[in-house]
C-alpha cells in the first residue's frame, strides 16, 4: 500500500516514539538496579542515579502533555517520603515533574529549529525536612528532529546570462537551497535539485545545483530569454520529502553571428547642384540582427566615379552611413555619379566566419539637378596695385564673371558700397574695369578690400560676389619729423661739448630700402654760440653745448631749429624746433627746478610761506562774506511784497481751522489799516480772548464794489491754484495802502461796530462764507442777532 506524505510523517513519528520509550525504559531499569551504599566516618555516598540525556520528538501535536522520562532514586521506597524537583531551562514553563513519581512531561510544542536542547537540574528531597537525599544532578533533554522544514532558496529568484550559440554543458548559474532540519540526523536536510521547467534547453546538477545548457546553437535572434523553474527536495528526493522551488531567468547574450545586409541592392537620390559643401546627400543603413558592439558598422566607398566628390561616414547612434558632399556640384560639368558602398562589422567573431563574409555592398546613384546659379568670377580673389599718386579715373584692373548656366546670361558689375564707404573706386557695369574715383593716400589706408557684385541681366536676383584687394603703393609725400615731443633741459653748470639730448625722426612713408634721415641746424642757427648738432649717421642726432655758464635769470628757454631731410626721391625735408630749458641741477646733473620766476621772489620768502599767506587771505574773505550775508538776512522785512508771494504762517491741513475766531497762530494786525495802532498785542502762543473793541471811524463809501471785486478775485485764485492754502486762513494783502477808502478788512471788531453795511450777499457765495454770513447777516439765523 502506498503511503501519502502526511501518513508517512506520522508513521516516522510513531517509530521514533517507540524507540525513545524503549531506550528510556532500559535506562530507568538500569538505574533502579544500582544499590547505594553508605560508608561511616570520612566516607561519601555513592551516587544512586546516573543519567546523561533524554530525547523528545519536536512538533508534538497531542492534547496531553508529552511524556519525556522518569526520575527515580533507590532511596525512594515508594512511601511518599521523597519528592522530586526540577530546575534549569524551561523548568515549570515547558517541562514539569511529578514530585511524587518523578515523571517529566513537556507541556508545550517543541521546535528543534528554535532550540535544539535544554539543560536542566534534578534533585530528590526529603519531604519532611526538605533536605536533599541525593546530590543535584544535571541532564539534557535533546529535541529530536523530524522533517518539518522544506528547502528554501534564500537568494532566489535568480537571473543569469549565457552567450548564444554556447556548446552543450556551458555553466549558466548555481542555485543553492538550505534546509533548517538537522543535517546530522537522518535525511531531513539532504537536498537534491531537479528542473521542472526549462527542458530541453537547460539542465541542473542534482547535488550541486549548477544549471547548464542542454541544447547547442541556441539563437538569441530567435529567442533571447528563458524562464526556468528549479526544485530542491529533501529526503534525498524520496517520496515524502519536502520541496521548495525558485525561478531562474536566463538571458542569451549577443555574439556577432549575423553579418550586415543592405535591404536593397541599389539606391537613387536627386540633389540640386547648389547644395553647399558638407551637406548631407543621403543616409543608408545595412541591417544587422545583432545588437550593441556586435552591430557596429563601417562604411566605405569601394568603387564608382564619386571619389573626392563624396564621402561616407557612420552615425555612431543609428549606425547609418551618411553620404556628404566634399566639393561643389556642377550640373553643366557632370549630371550624375555612381557609388559602390560596402558595409562591414567593425569587430568580426572568428568563430562564425564560416557562416559567410561579414560585409555587404550596394550601389548608390546620385542625380545632380540643374538650378539657376549666380554668376561665377574667374578668380576668388583679385590682387591689384596702384600708386597713391595716380590720377582720378585711372584704370586699376579688371574683374570677369560669367553665368555658369546653359543660358549664359550677360553679367553686369557693381561695387558693394558697404566695402567702399568713401567711394574711392568705380567699376564699369559692362566690362568690369575698376578705376579710381578719388585721390588715394597710402598713409590713410594702405589696402582697400572691396567686394564686386556680378548680377545676371535676365535674373537680377542671382548675384555673384568677387573679392578685390587693392594695395596702395607708396611715394615719398611725407616729410620727416621729430619722433616725439622732446623735453630738453640744460644745466646751469653744463660744460662745453656736453650731450644734452639725443633726437630721432619718423616718416609716414615706407620706402622699400628703409628710412635714412640727415640732421643739421638751419642756416640761422648754424653760427649760434650756445648749442651744436652732431649727425650720428644712424637716423639719430645729438645736441651738444658750445659753452658753459647758462643762467636762468638771463634766459630760461632756448629754441633750436633742426633741419631733417629724408632719402626719398625726390627727398623731402622739414624744420623742427627743439625747446631747451635752463635748469638748476644737483651734483649728478639731475634737474631740480627750471622756473626763472623763482629769482624774482624776495629774499628769505619760500614757497611754503607764500602758500600760507594765500590761505590766510582766503580765510578772511570767507569770513567777510559770511558777515555780510548774515546782516542782509537780519534786515529783511517781516511783510513781503506781493510779487514774492511768501506766506507768513504755517498752514496746517490736519483740521478744518477755527475760521474767524481762531486767532491763536495768526497776527490779525496785518488785516487792519496800517495807520491804526493797536493798544494791546496778543501773544501768539496763548489763545487770546475775543475783545469787542469799538472800531475807529473811517471815511466810508456807500458802494462796496471794490471790496466785492477784490474778494471775488482772491476767491477765484484760491480755487484755481492747487497749492494755495484754504481761503479762510490768513493771507497778507497789501491792498489798502496808506489811507485807503476801503477801510480795514478785519472782521474782529465788526460785531461791536455801528456800521450800516449790508452783508447779506455773503450767503450767496457758498458754504465757504457761511460763517461770515451768520456773523454779519441780518437774517433770522444770524449768530449774534
Tens of pLDDT along 514-538?
Answer: 889 999 999 888 888 899 999 999 9
How many Cα atoms within 13 Å fall on the side-chain side of residue 446? 6
Mean pLDDT of 37-63: 55
Burial class (CB in 10 A: 0-12, 13-18, 19+), 364: buried
Residue 432 has pLDDT above 60, yes or no: yes
pLDDT at 656: 56
130-141: per-residue pLDDT in tens?
888 888 888 888
Confidence of residue 364 (pLDDT cuts 50, 70, 90): very high
| 162-to-252, 354, 723 alpha-carbon distances in Å | 5, 22, 97
Residue 596 has pLDDT above 70, yes or no: no
Residue 692 has pLDDT above 80, yes or no: no
Mean pLDDT of 215-228: 92
Residue 599 has pLDDT above 70, yes or no: no
Q: Are strands 225-233 and 243-253 parallel, antiparallel or unpaired?
A: antiparallel
Q: What is the CATH number of domain 266-369?
A: 2.60.40.60
Between 561 and 671, the higher pLDDT residue: 561
283-292: per-residue pLDDT in tens?
999 999 889 8
Confidence of residue 123 (pLDDT cuts 50, 70, 90): confident
Q: How far apart are CA 525 and CA 81, in angstroms?
A: 160
**702 Cβ contact list (under 8 Å, min separation 6):** none
pLDDT at 740: 52
Q: How far apart are CA 668 and CA 729, in angstroms?
A: 11
The closest alpha carbon to 584, from 546, 556, 545, belongs to 556
Residue 634 has pLDDT above 80, yes or no: no
400-411: per-residue pLDDT in tens?
999 888 788 899
Q: Could you tell me if 237 and 249 are in contact, meaning their C-beta atoms sit under 8 angstroms apart?
A: no
Q: What angle do CA 79, 81, 84 make, to 5 degrees?
A: 115
Among 447-456, 547-556, 720-729, where is mean pLDDT lowest? 720-729
Q: How many other C-beta atoms are found inside a 10 Å radius of the C-beta of residue 240?
A: 16
Helix, strand, coil tally for the chain in percent (to 5): 15, 30, 55
Q: Cis omega (within 30 of 0) on the bond before 62?
A: no
List the domain boundaries for the chain. 53-144, 152-253, 266-369, 376-473, 481-593
Q: How far apart are CA 556 and CA 582, in angstroms?
A: 5
User: How does DSSP assign 4-65, residue by residue?
Assistant: -HHHHHHHHHHHHHHHHHHHHHHHHHHHHH------SSS--PPPS----EEEEESS---SSP
Residue 214 has pLDDT above 80, yes or no: yes
Residue 103 has pLDDT above 80, yes or no: yes
pLDDT at 182: 75
Task: Give the sign of the dihedral formed by CA 720, CA 722, CA 723, CA 724.
Answer: positive
pLDDT at 713: 82
The class (CATH top level) of 152-253 is mainly beta
DSSP code for 408: -
Residue 150 has pLDDT above 90, yes or no: no
Sheet with 310-314, edge to edge strand ranges: 280-284, 321-325, 310-314
Residue 82 has pLDDT above 50, yes or no: yes
Residue 723 has pLDDT above 60, yes or no: yes
Confidence of residue 673 (pLDDT cuts 50, 70, 90): very low
3-class state of residue 668 by DSSP: helix
The class (CATH top level) of 376-473 is mainly beta
3-class state of residue 458 by DSSP: coil
Residue 469, beta-bridge partner list: 383, 449
Q: How far apart are CA 662 and CA 674, in angstroms?
A: 22
The runs of H, that is alpha helices, within 40-183 are: none
3-class state of residue 531 by DSSP: strand
3-class state of residue 616 by DSSP: helix
Q: How many helices (H) and strands (E) does the chain have?
A: 4, 39
Confidence of residue 469 (pLDDT cuts 50, 70, 90): very high
3-class state of residue 125 by DSSP: strand
Confidence of residue 743 (pLDDT cuts 50, 70, 90): low
572 grid coordinates: 623731402
pLDDT at 660: 54
Mean pLDDT of 8-28: 46
Q: How far apart are CA 285 and CA 312, in angstroms?
A: 12
The closest alpha carbon to 164, from 26, 5, 289, 312, belongs to 289
Mean pLDDT of 469-491: 91
3-class state of residue 257 by DSSP: coil
Mean pLDDT of 468-479: 91
Q: Do domains 266-369 and 376-473 have the same CATH topology?
A: yes
Q: How many other C-beta atoms are found inside a 10 Å radius of the C-beta of residue 320?
A: 18
pLDDT at 280: 95
Task: Give the sign of the dihedral formed by CA 474, CA 479, CA 483, CA 484.
Answer: negative
**Location of C-alpha cell 578705376:** 435
Q: How far apart are CA 329 and CA 335, in angstroms?
A: 9
pLDDT at 24: 41
Q: How far apart are CA 117 and CA 88, in angstroms?
A: 12
Mean pLDDT of 729-752: 53
631 grid coordinates: 546782516
**746 Cβ contact list (under 8 Å, min separation 6):** 668, 671, 672
Confidence of residue 728 (pLDDT cuts 50, 70, 90): low
**What's the pTM value of the predicted model, to 2 decimals?**
0.44
Mean pLDDT of 493-507: 91
Among 396-405, 680-689, 751-760, where is mean pLDDT lowest? 680-689
Between 42 and 713, the higher pLDDT residue: 713
CATH architecture of 53-144: Sandwich (2.60)
96 grid coordinates: 514539569
275 grid coordinates: 547644395
Confidence of residue 677 (pLDDT cuts 50, 70, 90): very low
Q: How far apart are CA 113 and CA 181, in angstroms?
A: 7
pLDDT at 27: 36
Q: Could you tell me if 482 and 576 are in contact, meaning their C-beta atoms sit under 8 angstroms apart?
A: yes
Q: Cis omega (within 30 of 0) on the bond before 332?
A: no
Specify the CATH superfamily of domain 481-593: Cadherins (2.60.40.60)
Length of the chain in residues, anyone? 785
Mean residue pLDDT of the chain comes to 79
Q: Could you tell me if 160 and 251 are in contact, meaning their C-beta atoms sit under 8 angstroms apart?
A: yes
The closest alpha carbon to 168, from 219, 213, 119, belongs to 213
φ, ψ for residue 709, nearest 5 deg: -65, -40
167 grid coordinates: 556548446
**Location of C-alpha cell 457765495:** 765
Amino acid at each position: 500500500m502506498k503511503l501519502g506524505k502526511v501518513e508517512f510523517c506520522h508513521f516516522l513519528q510513531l517509530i521514533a516514539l517507540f524507540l525513545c520509550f524503549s531506550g528510556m525504559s532500559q535506562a530507568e531499569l538500569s538505574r533502579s538496579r544500582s544499590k547505594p551504599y553508605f560508608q561511616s566516618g570520612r566516607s561519601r555516598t555513592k551516587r544512586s542515579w546516573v543519567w546523561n540525556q533524554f530525547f523528545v520528538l519536536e512538533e508534538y501535536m497531542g492534547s496531553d502533555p508529552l511524556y519525556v522520562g522518569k526520575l527515580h532514586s533507590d532511596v525512594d521506597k515508594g512511601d511518599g517520603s521523597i519528592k522530586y524537583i526540577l530546575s534549569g531551562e524551561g523548568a515549570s514553563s515547558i517541562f514539569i515533574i511529578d514530585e511524587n513519581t518523578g515523571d517529566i512531561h513537556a507541556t508545550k510544542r517543541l521546535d528543534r529549529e528554535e532550540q535544539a536542547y535544554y539543560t536542566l537540574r534534578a534533585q530528590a528531597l526529603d519531604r519532611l525536612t526538605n533536605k536533599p537525599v541525593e546530590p543535584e544532578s544535571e541532564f539534557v533533554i535533546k529535541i529530536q528532529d523530524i522533517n518539518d522544514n522544506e528547502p528554501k532558496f534564500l537568494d532566489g529568484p535568480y537571473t543569469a546570462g549565457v552567450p548564444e550559440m554556447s556548446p552543450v554543458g556551458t555553466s549558466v548559474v548555481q542555485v543553492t537551497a538550505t534546509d533548517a532540519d538537522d543535517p546530522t540526523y537522518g535525511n531531513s536536510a539532504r537536498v537534491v535539485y531537479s528542473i521542472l521547467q526549462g527542458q530541453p534547453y537547460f539542465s541542473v546538477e542534482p547535488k550541486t545545483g549548477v544549471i547548464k545548457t542542454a541544447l547547442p546553437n541556441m539563437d538569441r535572434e530567435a529567442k533571447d530569454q528563458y524562464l526556468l523553474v528549479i526544485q530542491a527536495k529533501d529526503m534525498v528526493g524520496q517520496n515524502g520529502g519536502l520541496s521548495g522551488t525558485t525561478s531562474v531567468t536566463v538571458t542569451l547574450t549577443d555574439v556577432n553571428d549575423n553579418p550586415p545586409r543592405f535591404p536593397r541592392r541599389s539606391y537613387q537620390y536627386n540633389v540640386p547642384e547648389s547644395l553647399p559643401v558638407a551637406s548631407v546627400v543621403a543616409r543608408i543603413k545595412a541591417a544587422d540582427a545583432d545588437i550593441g558592439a556586435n552591430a557596429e558598422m563601417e562604411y566605405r566607398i569601394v568603387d564608382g566615379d564619386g571619389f573626392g566628390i563624396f564621402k561616407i561616414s557612420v552615425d555612431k547612434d543609428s549606425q547609418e552611413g551618411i553620404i556628404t558632399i566634399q566639393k561643389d556640384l556642377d550640373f553643366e560639368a557632370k549630371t550624375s555619379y555612381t557609388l559602390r558602398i560596402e558595409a562591414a562589422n567593425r569587430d568580426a567573431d572568428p568563430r562564425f566566419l564560416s557562416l559567410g563574409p561579414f560585409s555587404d555592398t550596394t550601389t548608390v546613384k546620385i542625380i545632380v539637378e540643374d538650378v539657376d546659379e549666380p554668376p561665377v568670377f574667374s578668380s576668388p580673389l583679385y590682387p591689384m596695385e596702384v600708386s597713391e599718386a595716380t590720377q582720378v579715373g585711372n584704370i586699376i584692373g579688371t574683374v570677369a564673371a560669367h553665368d555658369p548656366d546653359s543660358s549664359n546670361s550677360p553679367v553686369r558689375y557693381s561695387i558693394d558700397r558697404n566695402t567702399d564707404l568713401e567711394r574711392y573706386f568705380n567699376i564699369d557695369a559692362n566690362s568690369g574695369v575698376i578705376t579710381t574715383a578719388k585721390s588715394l593716400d597710402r598713409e590713410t589706408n594702405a589696402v582697400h578690400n572691396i567686394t564686386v557684385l556680378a548680377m545676371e541681366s535676365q535674373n537680377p536676383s542671382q548675384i555673384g560676389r568677387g573679392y578685390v584687394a587693392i594695395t596702395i603703393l607708396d611715394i615719398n609725400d611725407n616729410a620727416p619729423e621729430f619722433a616725439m615731443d622732446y623735453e630738453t633741459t640744460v644745466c646751469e653748470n653744463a660744460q662745453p661739448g656736453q650731450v644734452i639730448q639725443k633726437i630721432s625722426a619718423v616718416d609716414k612713408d615706407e620706402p622699400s630700402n628703409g628710412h635714412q634721415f640727415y640732421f643739421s641746424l638751419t642756416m640761422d642757427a648754424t653760427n649760434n654760440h650756445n648749442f651744436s648738432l652732431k649727425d650720428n649717421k644712424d637716423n639719430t642726432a645729438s645736441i651738444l653745448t658750445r659753452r658753459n655758464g647758462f643762467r636762468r635769470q638771463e634766459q630760461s628757454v632756448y629754441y633750436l631749429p633742426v633741419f631733417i631731410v629724408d632719402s626719398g626721391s625726390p627727398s623731402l625735408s622739414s624744420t623742427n624746433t627743439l625747446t631747451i630749458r635752463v635748469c638748476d641741477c644737483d651734483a649728478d646733473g639731475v634737474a631740480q627746478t627750471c622756473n626763472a620766476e623763482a629769482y624774482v621772489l624776495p629774499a628769505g620768502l619760500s614757497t611754503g610761506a607764500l602758500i600760507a599767506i594765500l590761505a590766510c587771505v582766503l580765510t578772511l574773505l570767507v569770513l567777510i562774506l559770511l558777515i555780510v550775508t548774515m546782516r542782509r538776512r537780519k534786515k529783511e522785512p517781516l511783510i513781503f511784497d506781493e510779487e514774492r508771494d511768501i506766506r507768513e504762517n504755517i498752514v496746517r491741513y490736519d483740521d478744518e481751522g477755527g475760521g474767524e475766531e481762531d486767532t491763536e497762530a495768526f497776527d490779525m494786525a496785518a488785516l487792519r489799516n496800517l495807520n491804526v495802532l493797536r493798544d494791546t498785542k496778543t501773544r501768539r502762543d496763548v489763545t487770546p480772548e475775543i475783545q469787542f473793541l469799538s472800531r475807529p471811524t473811517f471815511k466810508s463809501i456807500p458802494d462796496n464794489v471794490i471790496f466785492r471785486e477784490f474778494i471775488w478775485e482772491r476767491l477765484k485764485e484760491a480755487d484755481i491754484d492747487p497749492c494755495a492754502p484754504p481761503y479762510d486762513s490768513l493771507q497778507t494783502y497789501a491792498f489798502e495802502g496808506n489811507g485807503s477808502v476801503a477801510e480795514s478788512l478785519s472782521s474782529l471788531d465788526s460785531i461791536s461796530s455801528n456800521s450800516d453795511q449790508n452783508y447779506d450777499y455773503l450767503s450767496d457765495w457758498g458754504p465757504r462764507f457761511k460763517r461770515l454770513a451768520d456773523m454779519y447777516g441780518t437774517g433770522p439765523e444770524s449768530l449774534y442777532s
